[in-house]
Amino acid sequence: MDNPCKIAIIGGTGKVGRHIATRAIENGYHVRMLVRNPDKLLYKNDKIEIVKGQVQEIESIRELLKDCQVVINTFGQPPKEEPIYSKVTTTIFNVMEDLNISRYIGVSGGSLTIKEDKKSMMNRFGAKMFAVFFPKMMQDKNLEWEFLTNNRQIKWTLIRLPFVKDSLTSSQIKENLTDMPGTKITNQDIATFIIDHIDSTKYMHKAPFIAQ
């Protein structure tokens, strides 16, 4: 059944993003996706509208988001570059507010720790190791979280993920607000969870963990 709602996907060419695009189309949504180099797109679908551009450029974001009602951000940090998660999210929100778009779903890693968390000893240790080995990335992730918590105008949800398996195998998705309920999850299950929660208020202004 066709759904008049149009979804803008950032990071749609990544391992998770392409599954989100496919699942959105299966659910009748219109999809527009930001792509740096369309010629290198590994999969084609006539129902996906492609916008050529870069996530760092505000005009590319504005072109992507126009006429959309939902923004899904699975942007992956380019290797060997300075972390830009917080900058990208800030730009997206600024454009969303200009265009009166209210729904945003983003993803982050389970290593992100917030004050409400009650992580197990193992997960606390893992988060500390990430902070030791990837200090700039974690600092930027924390800046992104701080930005989100100070914004109540956008109906945002930030989903925290464990190790992501590049697999189509699906199983029951476990959810938890204070600790990671498992060690892995598949791309397909991430896509299912995100699309199923577009219209949900369950995790509004929250950062749930999901896993298998």
Nearest to 204 by CA among 101, 98, 119, 105: 105
Q: How far lies 203's CA from each of 26, 104, 184, 190, 194, in Å?
A: 23, 11, 21, 15, 11
The vertex-52 CA angle with 51 and 53, nearest 5°, equals: 110
The CA-based angle 197-202-206, given to 5 degrees, is 95
Amino acid at position 199, single letter: D
Give the up-direction half-sphere exposure of residue 116: CA atoms within 13 A in the CB hemisphere: 11
Q: Which tens digit of pLDDT belongs to each residue from 128-185? A: 999 999 999 999 999 999 999 999 999 999 999 999 988 766 778 999 999 999 999 9
Residue 44 pLDDT class (50, 70, 90 cuts): confident
- Domains defined along the chain, listed by start: 6-211 (3.40.50.720)
Look at residue 1 and tell me whether its pLDDT is greater than 70.
no
pTM of the full structure: 0.94
Model confidence at 2, pLDDT cuts 50, 70, 90, reads: low
Q: How confident is the model at residue 46 (pLDDT cuts 50, 70, 90)?
A: confident
Tens of pLDDT, residue by residue over 59-117, are: 999 999 999 999 999 988 777 788 899 999 999 999 999 999 999 999 999 999 999 99
Phi, psi of 94 (to 5 degrees): -60, -45
Q: Provide the pLDDT for residue 75.
A: 87
How much is the average pLDDT of 178-199?
A: 95
Residue 86, both tokens? 């917080």
Task: Give long-range contacts, CB 8 A cutoff, 24+ apart: 53-56.
Answer: 55/10, 55/11, 55/88, 56/84, 56/87, 56/88, 56/91
Give residue 36's pLDDT: 84
Residue pair 80/63 in contact by the 8 Å Cβ criterion: no
Residues whose CB falls within 8 Å of the CB of residue 38, separated by 6 or more in sequence, listed in order = 50, 52
Q: What is the mean pLDDT of residues 1-15?
A: 82
CA 18 to chain centre: 12
